[in-house]
């Protein structure tokens, strides 16, 4: 089997060992990413279920609203930390060492979740969020390092193979980790996620010799003065936080809200601050400033999209547990398995969409970037109107057919395939030259902002088990989609020639 996967590429020296015609290191990075995503999505499939399960059932016994808020804040922090994660790789350790350290942090975090104490659980959650943020930007950078020539025709294909690893891991995780957690023991499930990350690290360390030398370099290392200043500020902020939370703890008034509220506000404030700072930078050319004005609107629309999309692991998971039958065509399954649907749909439909855009382009009928973005919002909004109908059908304790959620996930995946790639493309096209690299991290901040909005709604008491929860968000997303489509000719001039 191994020999069938290794061959020489016609565009590479005959002495180069390759993987499916690509640099050999791609196999190691593919396996590392696949197993890291396996651990991430497996744990995420269990998170809200474990938080909301009764103590007698082995869970933590939180109210549903609190469980959703914790999940949303966790998701927000993962994507928020991707921005400093890229900076850390560029200026402190280099990509290779950063991925090694972050993967180890993630593995430790999962094993901390496996310990039957509340303190270790939340410490583990913090470890996983921090590690995921550090790893996310740097491992993708290392894939790029494998192709010394930026015009290497294999480059795009290599990233396609790499990103397939994400969906393979995400598909398998709920089926295994979800089943073990729900049917055997919560903590065994979390431990299995840790084992997954350990396997990924093994592939990573064993493949060091196959990675590009650039991945072991620090592109712009901190000076001694910068390093000392950074450490000083970090110590000051940590001391302030320790004193503040120490006083709250000593007063006996500490609750989980003392963590959720500050992080929720941070998840909304930092993306806002960063966008405003970039928009007002005096170094920007007039056309760049205009493009940033357009990008702000796309960012807000994307935040609305991700706010709905990432509820697959929270409100939709609780709906699957409480309001959906656990069997289909005579086959019984745990509610966490629904979270395997999205990666399954992505793997099935992504090649179809790639073919469709090329076919339409050849005929001169490919939708514009703005039309694709609008379609993504319309689809995600429409999925929540379907959820509104499903919620109505489950009134009075009735458990609805799993086909409701199967349909919702399918609609959301179609929306993702029209909006997410377009959002990445728009980010690179509209980014000012000064912020070309950083703007990819800004795109991830849309996920942070969206998840923080959901956390805020839960903290103020918005009910998630009503038709209005789904209808209101669906209406906002669809209104945004209609607005972009109807006013696309007015938005286009703000984009400074970008199409």
Tens digit of each residue's pLDDT (9 = 90 or more) over 343-354: 999 999 988 888
445-483 per-residue burial string, b: 16 or more CB within 10 A, e: under 16: bbbbbbbbbbbbbbbeeeebeeeebbbebbebbbebbee
CB atoms within 10 A of CB 325: 15
> Are residues 367 and 465 located together in one domain of the fold?
yes
Q: What is the pLDDT of residue 128?
A: 96
Q: How far is CA 469 from CA 292, 405, 407, in A?
A: 32, 16, 18
Q: How far apart are CA 398 and CA 323, in angstroms?
A: 7
Assess whether 204 and 240 both reside in one domain.
Answer: no
398 and 467 co-located in one domain: yes
> CA nearest 382: which of 339, 411, 402?
411
Domain count, the chain: 3
Q: pLDDT tens-digit profile of 391-412? A: 999 998 899 999 999 999 999 9
Q: Report how far apart, in Å, the C-alpha atoms of 405 and of each of 204, 341, 384 are.
A: 36, 9, 10
pLDDT at 495: 63
- pLDDT digits over 445-457, tens only? 999 999 999 999 9
- pLDDT one-digit tens code per residue, 214-269: 888 888 788 888 888 889 998 999 999 889 888 888 888 888 999 999 999 999 99
In a domain, residue 153? The reply is yes
Same domain, 55 and 162: yes
Which residue, 225, 235, 217, 223, is CA-closest to 89?
Answer: 217
Give tens-digit pLDDT for 206-222.
988 888 888 888 887 88
One domain, residues 442 and 339? yes
- Residue 486, judged by CB atoms within 10 A of its CB (0-12, 13-18, 19+), counts as exposed
Residue 3 covered by a domain: no
- 3-state class of 58 per DSSP? coil
Q: How far apart are CA 279 and CA 292, in angstroms?
A: 6
**Is a pLDDT exceeding 60 seen at residue 4?**
no
Rg for the chain, CA atoms, rounded: 23
In-domain check, residue 206: yes
Same domain as 116, residue 68: yes
Cα 196 to Cα 37: distance, rounded to the nearest angstrom: 9
pTM assigned to the model: 0.90
Its domain, for residue 121, covers: 18-221
Confidence of residue 10 (pLDDT cuts 50, 70, 90): very low
**Beta pairing class for 22-23 and 327-328:** unpaired
- pLDDT single digits (tens) 361-370: 888 888 887 8
């Amino acid at each position: 089997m191994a020999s069938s996967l290794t061959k020489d590429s016609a565009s590479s020296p005959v002495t180069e060992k390759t993987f499916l015609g690509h640099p050999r290191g791609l196999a190691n990075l593919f396996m590392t990413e696949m197993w890291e995503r396996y651990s991430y999505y497996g744990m995420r499939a269990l998170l809200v279920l474990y938080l909301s399960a009764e103590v007698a059932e082995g869970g933590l016994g939180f109210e549903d609203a609190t469980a959703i808020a914790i999940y949303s804040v966790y998701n927000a922090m993962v994507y928020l930390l991707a921005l400093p994660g890229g900076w850390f790789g560029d200026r402190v350790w280099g990509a290779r060492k950063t991925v090694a350290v972050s993967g180890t942090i993630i593995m430790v975090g999962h094993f901390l979740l496996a310990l039957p104490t509340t303190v270790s659980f939340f410490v583990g959650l913090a470890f996983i969020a921090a590690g995921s943020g550090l790893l996310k930007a740097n491992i993708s950078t290392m894939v790029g390092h494998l192709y010394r020539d930026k015009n290497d025709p294999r480059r795009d294909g290599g990233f396609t193979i790499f990103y397939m690893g994400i969906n393979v891991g995400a598909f398998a995780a709920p089926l295994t980790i979800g089943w073990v957690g729900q049917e055997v023991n919560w903590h065994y499930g979390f431990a299995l996620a840790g084992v997954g990350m350990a396997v990924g690290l093994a592939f990573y360390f064993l493949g060091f010799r196959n990675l590009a030398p650039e991945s072991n370099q620090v592109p712009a290392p901190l000076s001694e003065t910068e390093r000392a200043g950074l450490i000083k500020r970090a110590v000051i902020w940590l001391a302030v936080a320790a004193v503040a939370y120490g006083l709250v703890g000593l007063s006996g008034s500490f609750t989980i809200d003392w963590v959720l509220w500050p992080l929720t506000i941070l998840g909304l404030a930092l993306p806002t601050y960063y966008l405003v700072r970039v928009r007002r930078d005096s170094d920007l050319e007039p056309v760049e400033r205009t493009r940033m004005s357009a990008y702000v609107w796309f960012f807000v629309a994307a935040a609305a999209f991700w706010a709905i999309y990432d509820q697959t692991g929270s409100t939709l998971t609780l709906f699957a547990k409480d309001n959906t039958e656990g069997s289909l065509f005579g086959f019984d399954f745990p509610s966490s398995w629904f979270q395997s649907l999205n990666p399954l749909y992505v793997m099935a439909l992504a090649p179809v969409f790639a073919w469709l855009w090329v076919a339409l382009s050849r005929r001169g009928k490919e939708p514009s970037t703005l039309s694709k973005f609008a379609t993504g919002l319309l689809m995600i909004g429409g999925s929540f109107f379907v959820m509104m109908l499903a919620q109505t059908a489950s009134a009075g304790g009735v458990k609805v057919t799993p086909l409701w959620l199967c349909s919702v996930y399918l609609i959301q995946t179609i929306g993702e395939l029209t909006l997410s790639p377009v959002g990445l493309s728009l980010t690179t096209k509209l980014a000012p030259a000064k912020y070309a690299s950083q703007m990819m991290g800004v795109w991830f901040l849309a996920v942070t902002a969206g998840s923080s909005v959901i956390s805020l709604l839960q903290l103020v008491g918005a009910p998630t088990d009503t038709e209005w929860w789904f209808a209101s968000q669906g209406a906002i997303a669809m209104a945004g989609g209609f607005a972009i489509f109807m006013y696309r000719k007015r938005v286009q001039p703000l984009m400074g020639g970008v199409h």
